[in-house]
Amino acid sequence: MSSIVTETAGLAGTRTGARRSSLWRDTFAKLKKNKVAMCGLVFLVIMFLFCFIGPFFSPYASGKVNTVMINKPPSMAHWLGTDNLGRDILTRLMQAGRISLTVGLAAMLLSVFIGSVLGVVAGYYRGVVDQIVMRFADILMTIPGLPLLFIIGAILSEWKVPTDYRIYIVMLMLSLIGWPELARLVRSQILSLREREFMQATESLGLRDHRKLFFHLLPNTIPILIVVATLRVGGAILSESVLSYLGLGVVPPTPTWGNMIDAANTLIDFQKRPWLWIPPGFAIFATVISINLLGDGLRDALDPKMKR
Protein backbone atom coordinates (compact mmCIF):
# COMPACT_ATOMS: atom_id res chain seq x y z
CA MET A 1 0.00 0.00 0.00
CA SER A 2 2.61 2.47 1.05
CA SER A 3 4.80 1.57 -1.92
CA ILE A 4 1.96 2.36 -4.31
CA VAL A 5 1.49 5.70 -2.67
CA THR A 6 5.16 6.62 -2.95
CA GLU A 7 5.24 5.45 -6.53
CA THR A 8 2.33 7.58 -7.63
CA ALA A 9 3.75 10.48 -5.70
CA GLY A 10 7.07 10.02 -7.44
CA LEU A 11 5.38 9.89 -10.83
CA ALA A 12 3.43 13.04 -10.14
CA GLY A 13 6.66 14.68 -9.09
CA THR A 14 8.50 13.84 -12.29
CA ARG A 15 5.56 14.87 -14.35
CA THR A 16 5.26 18.31 -12.89
CA GLY A 17 9.03 18.49 -12.99
CA ALA A 18 9.07 17.84 -16.74
CA ARG A 19 6.30 20.32 -17.28
CA ARG A 20 7.86 23.13 -15.30
CA SER A 21 11.34 22.64 -16.65
CA SER A 22 10.53 25.41 -19.03
CA LEU A 23 10.69 29.14 -19.26
CA TRP A 24 9.12 29.89 -15.89
CA ARG A 25 11.42 27.77 -13.88
CA ASP A 26 14.51 29.17 -15.59
CA THR A 27 13.20 32.67 -15.18
CA PHE A 28 12.49 32.26 -11.51
CA ALA A 29 15.89 30.69 -10.94
CA LYS A 30 17.56 33.65 -12.61
CA LEU A 31 15.35 36.09 -10.78
CA LYS A 32 16.31 34.55 -7.45
CA LYS A 33 19.93 35.42 -8.11
CA ASN A 34 19.05 39.07 -8.66
CA LYS A 35 19.02 40.38 -5.08
CA VAL A 36 17.63 43.80 -5.89
CA ALA A 37 14.68 42.37 -7.80
CA MET A 38 14.04 39.87 -5.03
CA CYS A 39 13.94 42.72 -2.50
CA GLY A 40 11.31 44.34 -4.68
CA LEU A 41 9.32 41.12 -4.87
CA VAL A 42 9.52 40.50 -1.12
CA PHE A 43 8.49 44.05 -0.35
CA LEU A 44 5.53 43.78 -2.73
CA VAL A 45 4.38 40.56 -1.11
CA ILE A 46 4.59 42.22 2.31
CA MET A 47 2.72 45.24 0.99
CA PHE A 48 -0.05 43.04 -0.39
CA LEU A 49 -0.36 41.13 2.86
CA PHE A 50 -0.33 44.41 4.79
CA CYS A 51 -3.15 45.88 2.71
CA PHE A 52 -5.35 42.88 2.18
CA ILE A 53 -4.96 40.99 5.45
CA GLY A 54 -3.81 43.80 7.75
CA PRO A 55 -7.21 45.44 8.27
CA PHE A 56 -8.57 42.25 9.85
CA PHE A 57 -6.12 42.72 12.72
CA SER A 58 -6.87 46.38 13.22
CA PRO A 59 -9.05 47.29 16.22
CA TYR A 60 -10.48 50.27 14.31
CA ALA A 61 -13.13 50.21 11.62
CA SER A 62 -11.89 51.91 8.50
CA GLY A 63 -14.30 54.81 8.23
CA LYS A 64 -15.01 55.15 11.91
CA VAL A 65 -15.01 58.77 13.01
CA ASN A 66 -13.85 59.57 16.51
CA THR A 67 -14.43 63.16 17.47
CA VAL A 68 -12.29 62.92 20.59
CA MET A 69 -9.16 61.69 18.82
CA ILE A 70 -8.72 64.32 16.11
CA ASN A 71 -5.29 64.93 14.58
CA LYS A 72 -3.45 63.03 17.25
CA PRO A 73 0.23 62.25 16.61
CA PRO A 74 1.42 58.62 16.61
CA SER A 75 0.93 56.86 19.92
CA MET A 76 0.60 53.34 21.28
CA ALA A 77 -3.13 53.30 20.55
CA HIS A 78 -2.79 54.82 17.07
CA TRP A 79 0.61 53.80 15.69
CA LEU A 80 0.51 56.34 12.90
CA GLY A 81 -1.77 58.85 14.56
CA THR A 82 -5.22 59.98 13.51
CA ASP A 83 -6.56 62.38 10.90
CA ASN A 84 -8.88 65.36 11.08
CA LEU A 85 -11.92 63.12 11.59
CA GLY A 86 -10.22 60.98 14.22
CA ARG A 87 -9.74 58.00 11.92
CA ASP A 88 -6.80 55.69 12.52
CA ILE A 89 -4.17 56.44 9.86
CA LEU A 90 -2.69 52.94 9.87
CA THR A 91 -6.04 51.28 9.21
CA ARG A 92 -6.86 53.84 6.59
CA LEU A 93 -3.49 53.31 4.95
CA MET A 94 -4.22 49.60 4.57
CA GLN A 95 -7.69 50.27 3.18
CA ALA A 96 -6.26 52.82 0.79
CA GLY A 97 -3.61 50.34 -0.29
CA ARG A 98 -6.32 47.86 -1.20
CA ILE A 99 -7.92 50.37 -3.50
CA SER A 100 -4.68 51.68 -4.97
CA LEU A 101 -3.21 48.24 -5.64
CA THR A 102 -6.50 46.95 -7.05
CA VAL A 103 -6.86 49.95 -9.30
CA GLY A 104 -3.24 49.53 -10.46
CA LEU A 105 -3.61 45.81 -11.16
CA ALA A 106 -7.02 46.10 -12.77
CA ALA A 107 -5.95 48.98 -14.99
CA MET A 108 -2.91 46.98 -16.03
CA LEU A 109 -4.91 43.82 -16.77
CA LEU A 110 -7.45 45.73 -18.77
CA SER A 111 -4.87 47.61 -20.82
CA VAL A 112 -2.86 44.43 -21.40
CA PHE A 113 -6.02 42.69 -22.53
CA ILE A 114 -7.11 45.45 -24.90
CA GLY A 115 -3.57 46.15 -26.07
CA SER A 116 -2.60 42.57 -26.79
CA VAL A 117 -5.83 41.63 -28.55
CA LEU A 118 -5.74 44.72 -30.76
CA GLY A 119 -1.99 44.39 -31.28
CA VAL A 120 -2.23 40.75 -32.35
CA VAL A 121 -5.10 41.45 -34.70
CA ALA A 122 -3.42 44.51 -36.22
CA GLY A 123 -0.07 42.76 -36.61
CA TYR A 124 -1.50 39.61 -38.10
CA TYR A 125 -4.02 40.99 -40.56
CA ARG A 126 -2.11 44.17 -41.43
CA GLY A 127 -3.72 46.29 -44.13
CA VAL A 128 -6.88 48.17 -43.28
CA VAL A 129 -7.36 46.65 -39.81
CA ASP A 130 -3.83 47.58 -38.88
CA GLN A 131 -4.28 51.12 -40.18
CA ILE A 132 -7.48 51.69 -38.22
CA VAL A 133 -6.21 50.25 -34.94
CA MET A 134 -2.78 51.82 -35.05
CA ARG A 135 -3.96 55.26 -36.16
CA PHE A 136 -6.44 55.23 -33.31
CA ALA A 137 -3.62 54.25 -30.98
CA ASP A 138 -1.47 57.03 -32.44
CA ILE A 139 -4.18 59.59 -31.76
CA LEU A 140 -4.44 58.49 -28.14
CA MET A 141 -0.68 58.60 -27.82
CA THR A 142 -0.34 62.10 -29.21
CA ILE A 143 -2.60 63.49 -26.50
CA PRO A 144 -0.53 63.80 -23.32
CA GLY A 145 -1.93 61.33 -20.81
CA LEU A 146 -2.25 63.46 -17.73
CA PRO A 147 -4.21 66.36 -19.27
CA LEU A 148 -6.51 63.80 -20.87
CA LEU A 149 -7.11 62.21 -17.49
CA PHE A 150 -7.75 65.63 -15.94
CA ILE A 151 -10.37 66.37 -18.54
CA ILE A 152 -12.14 63.06 -18.05
CA GLY A 153 -11.88 63.45 -14.28
CA ALA A 154 -13.36 66.92 -14.47
CA ILE A 155 -16.23 65.66 -16.61
CA LEU A 156 -16.91 62.92 -14.07
CA SER A 157 -17.05 65.45 -11.26
CA GLU A 158 -19.37 67.58 -13.34
CA TRP A 159 -21.71 64.63 -13.98
CA LYS A 160 -21.76 63.81 -10.26
CA VAL A 161 -20.83 60.18 -10.74
CA PRO A 162 -21.47 58.27 -7.48
CA THR A 163 -18.24 57.86 -5.53
CA ASP A 164 -18.56 54.07 -5.44
CA TYR A 165 -18.40 53.91 -9.23
CA ARG A 166 -15.49 56.27 -9.53
CA ILE A 167 -13.00 53.51 -8.75
CA TYR A 168 -14.14 51.56 -11.78
CA ILE A 169 -14.15 54.59 -13.97
CA VAL A 170 -10.61 55.45 -12.89
CA MET A 171 -9.55 51.92 -13.89
CA LEU A 172 -11.15 52.41 -17.30
CA MET A 173 -9.51 55.81 -17.73
CA LEU A 174 -6.08 54.47 -16.91
CA SER A 175 -6.40 51.50 -19.24
CA LEU A 176 -7.69 53.78 -21.96
CA ILE A 177 -4.44 55.74 -21.98
CA GLY A 178 -2.39 52.60 -21.31
CA TRP A 179 -3.35 50.27 -24.12
CA PRO A 180 -1.89 52.02 -27.19
CA GLU A 181 1.70 51.53 -26.13
CA LEU A 182 1.07 47.84 -25.42
CA ALA A 183 -0.75 47.38 -28.70
CA ARG A 184 2.26 48.83 -30.48
CA LEU A 185 4.66 46.57 -28.67
CA VAL A 186 2.62 43.43 -29.33
CA ARG A 187 2.03 44.39 -32.93
CA SER A 188 5.74 44.84 -33.59
CA GLN A 189 6.42 41.41 -32.10
CA ILE A 190 3.66 39.81 -34.14
CA LEU A 191 4.92 41.40 -37.34
CA SER A 192 8.18 39.53 -36.98
CA LEU A 193 6.66 36.35 -35.53
CA ARG A 194 4.11 35.93 -38.30
CA GLU A 195 6.91 35.52 -40.84
CA ARG A 196 8.52 32.71 -38.88
CA GLU A 197 8.49 29.23 -40.31
CA PHE A 198 6.24 27.73 -37.67
CA MET A 199 3.49 30.11 -38.71
CA GLN A 200 3.79 28.81 -42.24
CA ALA A 201 3.51 25.34 -40.75
CA THR A 202 0.27 26.26 -38.98
CA GLU A 203 -0.95 27.63 -42.28
CA SER A 204 -0.17 24.36 -44.00
CA LEU A 205 -2.03 22.50 -41.26
CA GLY A 206 -5.16 24.46 -42.06
CA LEU A 207 -5.63 25.90 -38.59
CA ARG A 208 -8.24 28.56 -38.09
CA ASP A 209 -7.22 32.16 -37.55
CA HIS A 210 -8.26 32.51 -33.92
CA ARG A 211 -6.12 29.49 -33.11
CA LYS A 212 -3.13 30.93 -34.94
CA LEU A 213 -3.55 34.31 -33.27
CA PHE A 214 -4.23 33.40 -29.67
CA PHE A 215 -2.69 29.96 -29.40
CA HIS A 216 0.42 30.33 -31.53
CA LEU A 217 1.31 34.01 -31.75
CA LEU A 218 0.24 35.51 -28.44
CA PRO A 219 2.10 33.02 -26.19
CA ASN A 220 5.30 34.00 -27.95
CA THR A 221 4.90 37.58 -26.77
CA ILE A 222 4.19 36.69 -23.14
CA PRO A 223 7.73 37.24 -21.80
CA ILE A 224 7.84 40.81 -23.02
CA LEU A 225 4.22 41.39 -21.98
CA ILE A 226 5.01 40.31 -18.43
CA VAL A 227 7.81 42.81 -18.11
CA VAL A 228 5.82 45.68 -19.51
CA ALA A 229 2.72 44.72 -17.54
CA THR A 230 4.69 44.69 -14.30
CA LEU A 231 6.13 48.12 -14.93
CA ARG A 232 2.66 49.23 -15.95
CA VAL A 233 1.21 48.48 -12.51
CA GLY A 234 3.60 50.99 -11.00
CA GLY A 235 2.66 53.58 -13.59
CA ALA A 236 -1.04 53.01 -13.00
CA ILE A 237 -0.65 53.36 -9.22
CA LEU A 238 1.19 56.62 -9.73
CA SER A 239 -1.39 58.00 -12.15
CA GLU A 240 -4.21 57.01 -9.86
CA SER A 241 -2.46 58.74 -6.97
CA VAL A 242 -1.98 61.90 -8.98
CA LEU A 243 -5.62 61.93 -9.99
CA SER A 244 -6.89 61.22 -6.51
CA TYR A 245 -4.55 63.77 -4.99
CA LEU A 246 -6.06 66.38 -7.28
CA GLY A 247 -9.53 65.17 -6.38
CA LEU A 248 -10.24 63.95 -9.90
CA GLY A 249 -9.84 60.25 -9.29
CA VAL A 250 -11.21 58.32 -6.39
CA VAL A 251 -12.71 60.79 -3.94
CA PRO A 252 -13.16 60.58 -0.16
CA PRO A 253 -14.55 58.95 1.84
CA THR A 254 -13.11 56.04 -0.18
CA PRO A 255 -9.45 56.18 0.80
CA THR A 256 -6.59 55.83 -1.63
CA TRP A 257 -2.94 56.67 -1.11
CA GLY A 258 -3.35 59.59 -3.45
CA ASN A 259 -6.24 61.29 -1.73
CA MET A 260 -4.64 60.68 1.66
CA ILE A 261 -1.67 62.82 0.62
CA ASP A 262 -4.20 65.51 -0.14
CA ALA A 263 -3.71 66.43 3.51
CA ALA A 264 -0.39 67.98 2.52
CA ASN A 265 -2.37 70.64 0.69
CA THR A 266 -3.21 72.38 3.93
CA LEU A 267 -0.27 74.36 5.16
CA ILE A 268 -0.86 73.58 8.80
CA ASP A 269 -1.14 69.83 8.13
CA PHE A 270 1.94 69.95 5.98
CA GLN A 271 4.01 71.74 8.60
CA LYS A 272 2.65 70.42 11.85
CA ARG A 273 1.18 66.99 11.12
CA PRO A 274 3.56 64.99 8.93
CA TRP A 275 1.97 61.69 10.09
CA LEU A 276 -0.97 62.55 7.84
CA TRP A 277 0.91 62.53 4.56
CA ILE A 278 4.26 60.81 5.08
CA PRO A 279 2.87 57.24 5.41
CA PRO A 280 0.82 57.26 2.17
CA GLY A 281 3.64 59.04 0.39
CA PHE A 282 6.10 56.42 1.53
CA ALA A 283 3.69 53.63 0.57
CA ILE A 284 3.39 54.95 -2.99
CA PHE A 285 7.11 55.57 -3.30
CA ALA A 286 8.16 52.17 -1.96
CA THR A 287 5.54 50.21 -3.90
CA VAL A 288 6.32 51.84 -7.22
CA ILE A 289 10.08 51.48 -6.70
CA SER A 290 9.64 47.79 -5.82
CA ILE A 291 7.52 47.21 -8.89
CA ASN A 292 10.10 48.88 -11.10
CA LEU A 293 12.95 46.87 -9.58
CA LEU A 294 10.99 43.67 -10.04
CA GLY A 295 10.16 44.63 -13.61
CA ASP A 296 13.80 45.29 -14.43
CA GLY A 297 14.77 42.01 -12.81
CA LEU A 298 12.17 40.16 -14.85
CA ARG A 299 13.41 41.80 -18.00
CA ASP A 300 16.94 40.59 -17.30
CA ALA A 301 15.72 37.14 -16.34
CA LEU A 302 13.57 36.75 -19.45
CA ASP A 303 16.17 38.08 -21.84
CA PRO A 304 17.94 35.08 -23.36
CA LYS A 305 20.88 37.27 -24.38
CA MET A 306 21.63 38.11 -20.75
CA LYS A 307 23.62 35.03 -19.82
CA ARG A 308 25.52 35.27 -16.59
Partner 1 sequence: MTNALLTIDHLQTHFFTPSGVVKAVNDISLRVREGETVCIVGESGCGKSVTAMSVLGLVAEPQGKVVGGDIRFDGVDLLQLSPLEKQQLRGNDIAMIFQEPMSSLNPVLTIGEQIMEPLWEHLLLSKKEARAKAIELISLVGIPRPEEIMNAYPHQLSGGMLQRIMIAIAISCNPRLLIADEPTTALDVTIQAQILDLLREIKETYNTAILLITHDLGVVAEMADYVVVMYAGKVIEEGPVLELFSNPRHPYTRGLLQAKPVIGQRKKRLNSIPGQVPNLIGLADSCYFHDRCESCMSVCRLKQPELKQIDDGHRVACWLYEEESGLA
| Contacts with partner 1, residue ranges (CB under 8 A) | 15, 18-19, 21-23, 196-198, 200-208, 211, 215-216, 219-220, 222
Of 25 and 33, which has the nearer Cβ to partner 1?
A: 25
CB of 194 to partner 1, least distance (A): 11
CB of 120 to partner 1, least distance (A): 14
CA distance 281 to 50: 16
CB of 71 to partner 1, least distance (A): 56
CB 193 within 8 A of CB 199: yes
Of 105 and 226, which has the nearer Cβ to partner 1?
A: 226
* Residue 302: CB atoms within 10 Å: 19
Of 21 and 84, which has the nearer Cβ to partner 1?
A: 21
> Which of these, 279, 280, 278, lies nearest to 259 by C-alpha position?
280
Of 32 and 196, which has the nearer Cβ to partner 1?
A: 196
CB 122 within 8 A of CB 179: no
Alpha helices in the chain (DSSP H): 2-20, 23-33, 35-52, 89-125, 127-142, 145-159, 163-193, 197-204, 209-211, 218-245, 257-261, 267-272, 278-302
Of 221 and 254, which has the nearer Cβ to partner 1?
A: 221
